[in-house]
Structure 1
């Protein structure tokens, strides 16, 4: 965490920790594992939606735009790999 000054006031900069990112990636990896390729993509998406929505709701009040973009890219990568199998 760091702080920055804007118009004479200090604001705290916070974002999801590396551990929070790792736990979310682990959950996405588990849902899109190679052992689950027989499941339709719609079922995988239905499993991932509550996880991603909960994570986003928890971290929406912090400066996490870059982290959200990283998660989005990772989920798209894993979902497309799962769909292509």
Structure 2
């Protein structure tokens, strides 16, 4: 699954630089995660880094983007190939 930042976000700016896929960006009111880029850090880390640093615990799994670990790894491989291609 991709992750989702809820409206409990306080815009503390700590999650964005931690994302290895550049999936986090400022939205209209608070940070947002692009589910097409979010791999839950699969391929990079054992745990999602944004969740590790979030002081308000406002980053749950995105209910509309259900993905297996294999699908997340495939997305990671596509994203890294595009960066290096």
Bigger strand share = 1
Normalization by structure 2: what TM-score?
0.30
Higher helix share: 1
